[in-house]
Amino acid sequence: MSGGQTVEEFKAEREALNEIVMEYAGLPIKRFYGLDARVYRDGALPRKTKELIGLVASLALRCDDCVKYHAIGCKETGVTDEELDEALSIGLVIGGSIAIPHLRRALKAWDELKG
């Protein structure tokens, strides 16, 4: 989907499409968006752990956009290359080779995020 996009293009498209969603969204979709933001905030578990959890679940479920989104969150919360590799290894073992195309795009996005 967003395989060929840069991270900046991804963010811009995501924002533009979310505006369309909000034009049509009734209360349940709006509340779902609120919940989705809320569960990644610092709490008993730090946001960094939550972004890693979100990243691996997204990889195992094979959602490129979600992987990219949480890769950005991992960068923002100071995840290191070693931590990312270990988290992605779990996602690959859980999700299997069917996750490899998404692993590739995850690391391409990470490489770009590192500058």
Site string for a copy of itself, 57-96 (x = CB under 8 A): xx-xxxxxxx-------------xxxxxxxxxxxxxxxxx
- 2 forms part of the interface with a copy of itself (CB under 8 A): yes
Q: Is 39 in the site for a copy of itself (CB under 8 A)?
A: yes
Return d(Cα 60, Cα 66) in angstroms, integer. Answer: 11
- Please compute Rg for the chain using Cα positions: 14
Give least dist CB 47 to a copy of itself, A. Answer: 11
DSSP state of 78: T
Structure token pair of residue 107: 């690391």
CB 109 within 8 A of CB 7: yes
Nearby residues of 18 by Cβ (< 8 Å), 6 or more positions away: none
Binding region for a copy of itself (CB under 8 A): 1-3, 14, 17-18, 20-21, 23-29, 31-32, 35-36, 38-40, 43-45, 49-50, 52-54, 56-58, 60-66, 80-101, 103-105, 107-108, 110-111
